[in-house]
Amino acid sequence: MNWRLQIANLQSLLPQKHRLWGEILVIGTAVAVILWFLFLAVNRLAYPYDLDFIEDAMLMQAWRTAVRQPVYLPPNADYVPQVYMPLYTWLGGLLLRLTGPALWPLRLISLLSTLGTAVLLTCITRKEQAGWAAALASGALFLAGYKLVGGWLDLARVDALFTFLTLAGMGTAVYAHRTRRGLALAGLLMGLSFLTKQNGLFLSAVAGGWLLLAAGGRVRWFVAAWLGVTAVPLLWLQAATDGWFATTVFGVAYASPVDVRRVWPILRREFLGGMGGMVMMAGILVAKSIRKLTIDNSQFSIVNSQAAWLLFMGAAVFVSLAGRASVGGNLNNLIIGYALLCLSPGLLAGRWRRRSVILLLILLQFGLSLRPPLPYAPNRFLPTANMRANGDRLVAYLARVDGEVLVMLHPHYAQLAGKTPGVHIQTLWHARWRGQAPLPADLVARIETRAYAVIVSDETVYFETEPALVALIEAHYRRELLPQSLSPPTLSGIAARPLVVYRPR
């Protein structure tokens, strides 16, 4: 049985007279997913403590921006920067000037960016002649992928803003490249994407390469705008930080090697598995494009919108795969690739008559994205009242301590308790070239002189359990178990919760 006969059989599962009900089912599922996502995101937005331990590091960086303190510094006992580009924490710092140090303003940036991405996906696919069912599904599938990408869509992390700016820049490049203003706007947005996350450089190059074919010499307007928004701040940061900016965002950030042994399991489990429905639709689009090139001979052009989106989709999937396959690469790396794959239902619906097959594949992808355990299930992504109570008790406990405290993976708890937040130990581990460089001398001195009245550890692999650090602490502090009532867990990324307290000997 050839592939056309197989598709015809699949088409017969949803006859023409019932196709309307299929579209209603897709739209109903999409609306339910949107409402579910808003419920989940609002609850997480209001949770006052970190849901992923990197959130505290991002908050400390944004807070330094808010109070106009240097951000890109050599490792020290008080602070070390995360490895990301500056735009997200700069925007966060603007909000924190109004609110004070809190996680919800940073999460709000991510939440609005995620909703903006869903809207863009719907608008782009409508522009590609998709019906409302497929177009709405493209946006809703992005929100439905919450579990597939590890719950990072609404966290105090750069990924959601990066994805929104990248998709906006690519969309502007595709649909507005015939005017100078459109080219300049595309360059501006892609430049802001790069200022949010380093991967924006590669994706900007891909967009620029396509524009060179589509717009010819007028691509200079894209390049000029891109350089205009990126060159000045980056050169200024490099000069103002004595080179620590580039060391942090390029040297330290790319110190984690890619492990090629992870590539196939990630492809099999996460792309062909969790994103299988969208990968199938993207594959059909590619097959149809190849057929036009080889058989129809003149029906396909590299400078049309379908070719552009397939090219951008492939580039985004490559970025996601490379980031995920790096040592320590987590599920947040999948967001950009997943977002571009969410275009496939709408792109296919605008170019393929077999709408019933597309509806079935969309429903299949909703099933893959939402399969148990659901993101709102216990101990998944929805913070509980018990977590909040434990966090409140931990803050109260730290506030009663006579002296400064070091909460190694959650400095915001110390900040909320009225103490000076110390260095974020995971960020310090990376800044020390994955633990290869010595601990900062001022941190060693504080531990040796018992300057901290209390040190709190989550006992996570690599970071607080690094042998040299543990030996240093245990030479001057005694180890006790922290009561579980003072131990709120994180819900995304590496599971972490305060487990051990060290007191001076």
Say if residue 321's pLDDT is above 70: yes
The rounded mean pLDDT for the chain is 92
Residues 214-232 pLDDT 10s = 999 999 999 999 999 999 9
Say if residue 293's pLDDT is above 90: no
Residues 73-109 pLDDT 10s = 999 999 999 999 999 999 999 999 999 999 999 999 9
For 253-265, what is the mean pLDDT?
A: 92
Enter the pTM of the model. Answer: 0.94
Burial (0-12, 13-18, 19+ Cβ within 10 Å), 112: middle
Say if residue 143's pLDDT is above 80: yes
Which range has the worst mean pLDDT, 11-15, 418-422, 476-480?
11-15
Q: pLDDT > 70: what percent of the chain?
A: 94
* pLDDT (0 to 100) of residue 3: 47
What kind and span of H or E run contains 500?
Answer: strand 500-504
Say if residue 484's pLDDT is above 60: yes
CB 56 within 8 A of CB 409: yes
SS3 content of the chain, % helix, strand, coil (to 5): 65, 5, 30
**Residue 54 to residue 51: CA distance in whole angstroms:** 9
- Which tokens sit at 341? 């794959």
Residue 378's pLDDT band (cuts 50, 70, 90): low
For 122-150, what is the mean pLDDT?
A: 93
Residues 456-468 pLDDT 10s = 999 998 789 999 9
Residues 42-67 pLDDT 10s = 999 999 999 999 999 999 999 999 99
Query: Longest Cα pair distance anywhere in the chain, in angstroms?
Result: 80
Higher pLDDT, 5 or 452: 452
Q: 243: phi > 0 → left, psi -120 to 50 → alpha, else beta; which?
A: left
For 23-45, what is the mean pLDDT?
A: 95
* pLDDT (0 to 100) of residue 15: 55
Which range has the worst mean pLDDT, 333-342, 351-360, 396-405, 480-489?
351-360
Residues 177-216 pLDDT 10s = 999 999 999 999 999 999 999 999 999 999 999 999 999 9
* pLDDT (0 to 100) of residue 356: 86
For 426-439, what is the mean pLDDT?
A: 94
* pLDDT (0 to 100) of residue 350: 80
Say if residue 483's pLDDT is above 80: yes
For 357-371, what is the mean pLDDT?
A: 93
**Residue 447 to residue 450: CA distance in whole angstroms:** 5
